Homo-oligomer: A and B are copies of this chain.
Amino acid sequence: MGQPNGEFELIARLRERLPGTGARLLVGSGDDAAVAVAGGATATSVDAVVDGVHFRLDGGFEPEDVGAKALATALSDLAAMGAEPGEAYVVLGVPPAAGEAELLRIADGLAEVATATGTAVAGGDVVRSPVLWLALTVVGHAPRPELLVTRAGAEAGDVLVLSGELGGAAAGLLLLERPALADVVAAATAANLRQRQLRPTPRLRAGAALAAAGARAMIDLSDGLAADAGHVAARSGVALAIDAAAIPLAKGVAELAAASGQDPLELAVSGGEDYELLAAIPPDRLGEAATRIGDAAETSLTVIGEVTRGGAVEIRLPGGGTLTSAGFDQLAPRPGGPAAAGP
Protein backbone atom coordinates (compact mmCIF):
# COMPACT_ATOMS: atom_id res chain seq x y z
CA MET A 1 0.00 0.00 0.00
CA GLY A 2 1.28 3.42 -0.84
CA GLN A 3 0.97 6.12 1.76
CA PRO A 4 1.90 9.76 1.50
CA ASN A 5 4.65 10.60 3.98
CA GLY A 6 2.15 12.00 6.47
CA GLU A 7 0.56 8.59 6.71
CA PHE A 8 3.91 6.90 7.32
CA GLU A 9 4.32 9.17 10.33
CA LEU A 10 0.80 8.46 11.54
CA ILE A 11 1.44 4.74 11.17
CA ALA A 12 4.62 5.08 13.22
CA ARG A 13 2.73 6.85 15.99
CA LEU A 14 -0.08 4.29 15.94
CA ARG A 15 2.46 1.47 16.10
CA GLU A 16 4.14 2.94 19.18
CA ARG A 17 0.90 2.58 21.09
CA LEU A 18 0.16 -1.02 20.10
CA PRO A 19 1.71 -4.15 21.59
CA GLY A 20 3.73 -5.38 18.59
CA THR A 21 5.47 -8.46 19.94
CA GLY A 22 4.22 -11.96 20.54
CA ALA A 23 5.61 -15.38 21.33
CA ARG A 24 4.98 -16.66 17.81
CA LEU A 25 5.82 -13.45 15.98
CA LEU A 26 9.28 -13.29 14.38
CA VAL A 27 8.71 -10.24 12.14
CA GLY A 28 5.98 -7.78 13.04
CA SER A 29 4.78 -4.54 11.52
CA GLY A 30 7.08 -2.79 9.03
CA ASP A 31 7.97 -5.45 6.48
CA ASP A 32 6.10 -6.74 3.44
CA ALA A 33 4.35 -9.26 5.67
CA ALA A 34 4.46 -10.40 9.27
CA VAL A 35 6.26 -13.70 9.91
CA ALA A 36 4.89 -16.03 12.55
CA VAL A 37 5.92 -19.49 13.66
CA ALA A 38 2.86 -21.62 13.20
CA GLY A 39 1.87 -23.97 16.00
CA GLY A 40 0.14 -26.77 14.16
CA ALA A 41 -3.17 -25.15 13.25
CA THR A 42 -4.43 -21.61 12.85
CA ALA A 43 -7.91 -20.13 13.23
CA THR A 44 -8.38 -16.90 11.28
CA SER A 45 -11.32 -14.51 11.31
CA VAL A 46 -12.02 -11.11 9.76
CA ASP A 47 -14.41 -8.42 10.94
CA ALA A 48 -15.05 -4.77 10.18
CA VAL A 49 -16.89 -1.82 11.66
CA VAL A 50 -17.95 1.38 9.93
CA ASP A 51 -18.74 4.75 11.52
CA GLY A 52 -22.46 5.46 11.38
CA VAL A 53 -23.28 1.80 10.73
CA HIS A 54 -21.78 -0.22 13.61
CA PHE A 55 -20.96 2.56 16.02
CA ARG A 56 -21.52 6.28 16.38
CA LEU A 57 -18.88 8.49 17.86
CA ASP A 58 -21.71 10.91 18.66
CA GLY A 59 -23.85 8.17 20.24
CA GLY A 60 -22.03 7.25 23.43
CA PHE A 61 -18.96 5.57 21.88
CA GLU A 62 -15.63 7.12 22.76
CA PRO A 63 -12.81 6.45 20.26
CA GLU A 64 -11.22 4.03 22.77
CA ASP A 65 -14.48 2.06 22.85
CA VAL A 66 -14.48 1.77 19.05
CA GLY A 67 -10.98 0.28 19.01
CA ALA A 68 -11.57 -1.94 22.03
CA LYS A 69 -14.90 -3.28 20.79
CA ALA A 70 -13.62 -3.92 17.27
CA LEU A 71 -10.79 -6.10 18.56
CA ALA A 72 -12.86 -7.74 21.31
CA THR A 73 -15.59 -8.80 18.90
CA ALA A 74 -13.03 -10.12 16.42
CA LEU A 75 -11.34 -12.12 19.19
CA SER A 76 -14.74 -13.45 20.21
CA ASP A 77 -14.67 -15.54 17.03
CA LEU A 78 -11.40 -17.11 18.19
CA ALA A 79 -12.95 -17.77 21.60
CA ALA A 80 -15.74 -19.64 19.81
CA MET A 81 -13.11 -21.92 18.21
CA GLY A 82 -11.29 -22.53 21.49
CA ALA A 83 -8.18 -21.00 19.91
CA GLU A 84 -5.39 -19.23 21.74
CA PRO A 85 -5.23 -15.61 20.49
CA GLY A 86 -2.04 -14.84 18.59
CA GLU A 87 -1.87 -11.96 16.15
CA ALA A 88 -4.15 -9.14 15.00
CA TYR A 89 -3.89 -7.08 11.80
CA VAL A 90 -5.67 -3.73 11.64
CA VAL A 91 -6.63 -1.65 8.62
CA LEU A 92 -7.90 1.82 9.36
CA GLY A 93 -9.86 3.82 6.78
CA VAL A 94 -9.28 7.45 7.71
CA PRO A 95 -11.34 10.42 6.49
CA PRO A 96 -9.60 13.75 5.89
CA ALA A 97 -11.44 15.33 8.82
CA ALA A 98 -10.32 12.73 11.39
CA GLY A 99 -8.00 14.21 13.96
CA GLU A 100 -4.83 12.39 14.87
CA ALA A 101 -5.79 12.49 18.56
CA GLU A 102 -8.96 10.54 17.78
CA LEU A 103 -7.04 7.92 15.80
CA LEU A 104 -4.51 7.49 18.59
CA ARG A 105 -7.36 7.03 21.07
CA ILE A 106 -8.79 4.28 18.84
CA ALA A 107 -5.33 2.67 18.95
CA ASP A 108 -5.31 2.99 22.75
CA GLY A 109 -8.58 1.04 22.92
CA LEU A 110 -7.16 -1.62 20.60
CA ALA A 111 -4.01 -1.78 22.72
CA GLU A 112 -6.00 -2.24 25.93
CA VAL A 113 -7.74 -5.36 24.59
CA ALA A 114 -4.60 -6.63 22.84
CA THR A 115 -2.62 -6.41 26.06
CA ALA A 116 -5.37 -7.93 28.19
CA THR A 117 -5.68 -10.92 25.87
CA GLY A 118 -2.02 -11.42 24.93
CA THR A 119 -2.63 -10.51 21.28
CA ALA A 120 0.21 -9.00 19.21
CA VAL A 121 -0.74 -6.34 16.67
CA ALA A 122 1.47 -7.78 13.96
CA GLY A 123 0.62 -5.53 11.04
CA GLY A 124 -1.79 -3.11 9.54
CA ASP A 125 -2.38 -0.32 7.14
CA VAL A 126 -3.89 3.15 7.02
CA VAL A 127 -5.78 4.22 3.92
CA ARG A 128 -7.67 7.35 3.03
CA SER A 129 -11.44 6.93 3.01
CA PRO A 130 -14.46 9.25 3.02
CA VAL A 131 -15.68 7.47 6.17
CA LEU A 132 -13.92 6.05 9.25
CA TRP A 133 -13.76 2.26 9.34
CA LEU A 134 -11.68 -0.51 10.86
CA ALA A 135 -11.10 -3.96 9.42
CA LEU A 136 -9.55 -6.53 11.74
CA THR A 137 -8.02 -9.91 11.06
CA VAL A 138 -7.27 -12.07 14.06
CA VAL A 139 -5.26 -15.29 14.05
CA GLY A 140 -5.46 -17.85 16.81
CA HIS A 141 -3.46 -21.01 17.31
CA ALA A 142 -3.92 -24.58 18.48
CA PRO A 143 -1.41 -27.41 18.67
CA ARG A 144 -3.57 -29.58 16.41
CA PRO A 145 -6.51 -28.76 14.11
CA GLU A 146 -8.85 -31.21 15.86
CA LEU A 147 -8.60 -29.16 19.06
CA LEU A 148 -10.45 -26.29 17.38
CA VAL A 149 -14.24 -26.38 17.76
CA THR A 150 -16.37 -25.50 14.73
CA ARG A 151 -20.12 -24.96 14.50
CA ALA A 152 -20.55 -28.29 12.79
CA GLY A 153 -20.05 -31.07 15.34
CA ALA A 154 -23.15 -30.97 17.57
CA GLU A 155 -24.85 -34.35 18.00
CA ALA A 156 -28.29 -35.35 19.26
CA GLY A 157 -28.02 -35.98 22.98
CA ASP A 158 -25.52 -33.18 23.63
CA VAL A 159 -26.49 -30.54 26.14
CA LEU A 160 -26.46 -26.86 25.21
CA VAL A 161 -24.48 -24.63 27.53
CA LEU A 162 -24.23 -20.85 27.60
CA SER A 163 -21.53 -18.70 29.14
CA GLY A 164 -22.57 -15.65 31.14
CA GLU A 165 -25.87 -13.80 30.78
CA LEU A 166 -27.83 -12.40 27.85
CA GLY A 167 -29.65 -9.17 27.05
CA GLY A 168 -27.06 -6.90 28.61
CA ALA A 169 -25.69 -5.48 25.37
CA ALA A 170 -29.16 -4.71 24.01
CA ALA A 171 -30.16 -3.11 27.32
CA GLY A 172 -26.93 -1.10 27.25
CA LEU A 173 -27.76 0.18 23.79
CA LEU A 174 -31.21 1.21 25.04
CA LEU A 175 -29.53 3.19 27.80
CA LEU A 176 -27.13 4.90 25.40
CA GLU A 177 -29.99 5.94 23.17
CA ARG A 178 -32.55 6.78 25.85
CA PRO A 179 -30.55 7.90 28.88
CA ALA A 180 -33.72 8.73 30.85
CA LEU A 181 -34.47 5.01 31.12
CA ALA A 182 -31.53 4.66 33.53
CA ASP A 183 -33.83 5.76 36.36
CA VAL A 184 -35.39 2.30 36.63
CA VAL A 185 -32.15 0.59 37.68
CA ALA A 186 -29.33 1.33 40.12
CA ALA A 187 -26.55 3.52 38.76
CA ALA A 188 -24.02 0.67 38.97
CA THR A 189 -26.36 -1.65 37.08
CA ALA A 190 -26.85 0.95 34.34
CA ALA A 191 -23.09 1.45 34.09
CA ASN A 192 -22.55 -2.30 33.78
CA LEU A 193 -25.12 -2.57 31.03
CA ARG A 194 -23.56 0.30 29.05
CA GLN A 195 -20.22 -1.46 29.35
CA ARG A 196 -21.75 -4.64 27.98
CA GLN A 197 -22.59 -2.66 24.82
CA LEU A 198 -19.41 -0.59 24.62
CA ARG A 199 -16.85 -3.08 25.91
CA PRO A 200 -17.84 -6.71 25.36
CA THR A 201 -15.46 -9.34 26.75
CA PRO A 202 -14.27 -12.03 24.37
CA ARG A 203 -14.77 -15.28 26.29
CA LEU A 204 -11.34 -16.63 25.43
CA ARG A 205 -10.78 -18.55 28.66
CA ALA A 206 -14.31 -19.95 28.65
CA GLY A 207 -13.87 -21.00 25.01
CA ALA A 208 -10.57 -22.71 25.76
CA ALA A 209 -12.12 -24.43 28.79
CA LEU A 210 -15.11 -25.67 26.79
CA ALA A 211 -12.86 -26.89 23.96
CA ALA A 212 -10.60 -28.70 26.43
CA ALA A 213 -13.62 -30.27 28.16
CA GLY A 214 -14.83 -31.74 24.87
CA ALA A 215 -17.35 -29.29 23.39
CA ARG A 216 -18.43 -30.62 19.99
CA ALA A 217 -19.74 -27.37 18.49
CA MET A 218 -19.45 -23.76 19.60
CA ILE A 219 -20.43 -20.26 18.41
CA ASP A 220 -20.24 -16.77 19.85
CA LEU A 221 -23.51 -14.85 20.13
CA SER A 222 -23.11 -11.76 17.97
CA ASP A 223 -26.44 -11.76 16.12
CA GLY A 224 -28.45 -13.06 19.06
CA LEU A 225 -29.17 -16.50 20.50
CA ALA A 226 -31.97 -17.33 18.06
CA ALA A 227 -29.99 -16.51 14.93
CA ASP A 228 -26.68 -17.93 16.11
CA ALA A 229 -28.23 -21.14 17.40
CA GLY A 230 -29.69 -21.42 13.90
CA HIS A 231 -26.17 -21.40 12.45
CA VAL A 232 -25.13 -24.30 14.70
CA ALA A 233 -28.28 -26.25 13.83
CA ALA A 234 -27.71 -25.70 10.10
CA ARG A 235 -23.99 -26.53 10.12
CA SER A 236 -24.36 -29.53 12.43
CA GLY A 237 -27.55 -30.87 10.84
CA VAL A 238 -29.35 -31.07 14.17
CA ALA A 239 -32.20 -29.40 16.04
CA LEU A 240 -31.65 -27.33 19.15
CA ALA A 241 -34.27 -27.18 21.90
CA ILE A 242 -33.74 -24.23 24.21
CA ASP A 243 -35.63 -23.66 27.46
CA ALA A 244 -36.34 -19.90 27.59
CA ALA A 245 -36.80 -20.00 31.37
CA ALA A 246 -33.24 -21.28 31.76
CA ILE A 247 -31.63 -18.34 29.93
CA PRO A 248 -29.87 -16.13 32.48
CA LEU A 249 -30.70 -12.45 31.98
CA ALA A 250 -28.13 -9.80 32.80
CA LYS A 251 -29.07 -7.76 35.87
CA GLY A 252 -31.38 -4.87 34.96
CA VAL A 253 -32.56 -6.30 31.64
CA ALA A 254 -36.01 -7.17 33.02
CA GLU A 255 -36.52 -3.68 34.45
CA LEU A 256 -35.34 -1.92 31.27
CA ALA A 257 -37.47 -4.15 29.08
CA ALA A 258 -40.52 -3.31 31.20
CA ALA A 259 -39.75 0.42 31.17
CA SER A 260 -39.38 0.45 27.38
CA GLY A 261 -42.39 -1.77 26.70
CA GLN A 262 -40.38 -4.73 25.39
CA ASP A 263 -40.26 -8.42 26.17
CA PRO A 264 -37.09 -9.12 28.16
CA LEU A 265 -36.82 -12.46 26.35
CA GLU A 266 -36.63 -10.63 23.05
CA LEU A 267 -33.72 -8.52 24.29
CA ALA A 268 -31.99 -11.72 25.44
CA VAL A 269 -32.74 -13.84 22.39
CA SER A 270 -32.58 -11.31 19.54
CA GLY A 271 -30.78 -8.30 20.94
CA GLY A 272 -27.39 -9.60 19.88
CA GLU A 273 -23.90 -8.39 20.70
CA ASP A 274 -23.61 -10.19 24.03
CA TYR A 275 -20.62 -12.17 22.70
CA GLU A 276 -21.29 -15.03 25.09
CA LEU A 277 -20.58 -18.58 23.92
CA LEU A 278 -23.11 -21.26 23.08
CA ALA A 279 -21.68 -24.78 23.04
CA ALA A 280 -22.94 -28.33 22.51
CA ILE A 281 -21.22 -30.77 24.79
CA PRO A 282 -21.78 -34.45 25.63
CA PRO A 283 -23.62 -34.72 28.99
CA ASP A 284 -20.78 -36.72 30.54
CA ARG A 285 -18.35 -33.85 29.90
CA LEU A 286 -20.52 -31.25 31.60
CA GLY A 287 -18.88 -31.69 34.99
CA GLU A 288 -15.41 -31.17 33.56
CA ALA A 289 -16.60 -28.12 31.60
CA ALA A 290 -18.10 -26.57 34.74
CA THR A 291 -14.90 -27.21 36.70
CA ARG A 292 -12.69 -25.77 33.96
CA ILE A 293 -14.91 -22.69 33.56
CA GLY A 294 -14.90 -22.25 37.33
CA ASP A 295 -11.10 -22.45 37.36
CA ALA A 296 -10.87 -19.90 34.55
CA ALA A 297 -13.04 -17.63 36.73
CA GLU A 298 -14.11 -15.63 33.70
CA THR A 299 -17.83 -16.27 33.65
CA SER A 300 -20.60 -18.64 34.62
CA LEU A 301 -21.92 -21.63 32.68
CA THR A 302 -25.61 -22.51 32.36
CA VAL A 303 -27.35 -25.45 30.72
CA ILE A 304 -30.09 -23.94 28.55
CA GLY A 305 -31.22 -26.83 26.39
CA GLU A 306 -30.31 -29.88 24.38
CA VAL A 307 -29.45 -31.07 20.91
CA THR A 308 -32.04 -33.28 19.23
CA ARG A 309 -32.65 -34.75 15.80
CA GLY A 310 -34.10 -32.44 13.17
CA GLY A 311 -32.95 -29.12 11.79
CA ALA A 312 -34.57 -26.20 13.57
CA VAL A 313 -34.15 -24.12 16.69
CA GLU A 314 -37.07 -24.27 19.11
CA ILE A 315 -37.16 -21.90 22.06
CA ARG A 316 -39.63 -23.27 24.64
CA LEU A 317 -41.46 -20.44 26.40
CA PRO A 318 -42.31 -20.56 30.10
CA GLY A 319 -46.05 -20.37 29.32
CA GLY A 320 -45.92 -23.50 27.20
CA GLY A 321 -45.62 -22.07 23.65
CA THR A 322 -42.53 -22.14 21.48
CA LEU A 323 -40.63 -19.73 19.27
CA THR A 324 -38.94 -21.15 16.21
CA SER A 325 -35.71 -19.60 14.97
CA ALA A 326 -37.82 -17.52 12.59
CA GLY A 327 -39.78 -16.18 15.54
CA PHE A 328 -37.93 -12.89 15.62
CA ASP A 329 -37.45 -11.25 12.25
CA GLN A 330 -33.75 -10.58 11.73
CA LEU A 331 -34.55 -7.78 9.30
CA ALA A 332 -36.65 -5.95 11.88
CA PRO A 333 -34.93 -2.88 13.30
CA ARG A 334 -32.84 -3.46 16.41
CA PRO A 335 -33.81 -1.55 19.54
CA GLY A 336 -31.58 1.30 18.44
CA GLY A 337 -32.75 1.38 14.84
CA PRO A 338 -30.90 0.02 11.82
CA ALA A 339 -28.01 2.47 12.04
CA ALA A 340 -27.17 1.17 15.48
CA ALA A 341 -27.28 -2.52 14.55
CA GLY A 342 -24.24 -4.13 16.07
CA PRO A 343 -21.16 -5.60 14.50
Indicate which residue in B33, B54, B131, B152 contacts A44 across the interface (CB closer than 8 Å): B33
**Distance in angstroms between the alpha carbons of A151 and B33 in the assembled complex:** 10
A30 interfacial contact with B, CB 8 Å: yes
**Distance in angstroms between the alpha carbons of A219 and B50 in the assembled complex:** 32
Given A32-B219, A38-B41, the answer on whether A47 and B1 have CB atoms closer than 8 Å is yes
> By the criterion CB–CB under 8 Å, are A1 and B124 in contact?
no
Indicate which residue in B6, B124, B127, B151 contacts A50 across the interface (CB closer than 8 Å): B127
Of the candidate stretches A81-89, A174-182, A285-293, the one touching chain B is A81-89
Residues of B within 8 A of A26 (CB): 41, 145
Given A38-B40, A44-B89, A131-B131, the answer on whether A33 and B341 have CB atoms closer than 8 Å is no
Of the candidate stretches A59-67, A135-143, A183-191, A295-303, the one touching chain B is A135-143
Interface centre among A1, A37, A80, A81 (most CB of B within 10 A): A1
A115 interfacial contact with B, CB 8 Å: no
How many copies of this chain does one complex carry?
2
Chain B nearest CB from A55 CB (Å) reads: 12
A103 interfacial contact with B, CB 8 Å: no
> By the criterion CB–CB under 8 Å, are A129 and B50 in contact?
yes
Indicate which residue in B5, B31, B40, B81 contacts A33 across the interface (CB closer than 8 Å): B81
Residues of B within 8 A of A145 (CB): 26, 35, 37
> By the criterion CB–CB under 8 Å, are A223 and B331 in contact?
no
Chain B nearest CB from A147 CB (Å) reads: 10
**Distance in angstroms between the alpha carbons of A54 and B151 in the assembled complex:** 37
Chain B nearest CB from A172 CB (Å) reads: 16
A156 interfacial contact with B, CB 8 Å: no
Chain B nearest CB from A257 CB (Å) reads: 20
A272 interfacial contact with B, CB 8 Å: yes
Interface centre among A27, A39, A80 (most CB of B within 10 A): A27
Residues of B within 8 A of A141 (CB): 38
A261 interfacial contact with B, CB 8 Å: no
A43 interfacial contact with B, CB 8 Å: yes
Task: Enumerate 13 A-B pairs (CB-CB under 8 Å) in ascending A order.
Answer: A26-B41, A31-B152, A32-B150, A33-B44, A34-B45, A35-B42, A37-B40, A48-B91, A50-B93, A52-B130, A53-B129, A93-B133, A129-B133
In the complex, besides A1-B48, A2-B272, A3-B223, 14 extra interface pairs with C-beta distance below 8 angstroms are A1-B343, A4-B330, A26-B41, A31-B81, A31-B151, A42-B42, A44-B137, A45-B123, A46-B123, A47-B91, A50-B128, A50-B130, A91-B135, A93-B93
